[in-house]
Amino acid sequence: MATVSAKIEKRKKEEMNELGISPSEVIKKAVDDAILQRKLEKAAEGISEIVPLLRKVSEESWVKAIRETRDER
Specify if 62 maps to a domain.
yes
Specify if 1 maps to a domain.
no
Specify if 40 maps to a domain.
yes
Residues 23 and 13 sit within 8 Å (Cβ to Cβ): yes
Specify if 29 maps to a domain.
yes
Specify if 37 maps to a domain.
yes
Report the greatest alpha carbon distance in the chain. Answer: 68
Q: What is the pLDDT of residues 28-73, one digit of tens each?
A: 999 999 999 999 999 999 999 999 999 999 999 999 999 999 888 7
DSSP, residue by residue, the chain? ---------HHHHHHHHHHT--HHHHHHHHHHHHHHHHHHHHHHHHHHHHHHHHHTS-HHHHHHHHHHHHHH-
Overall pTM > 0.75? no
Tell me how many domains the chain contains.
1
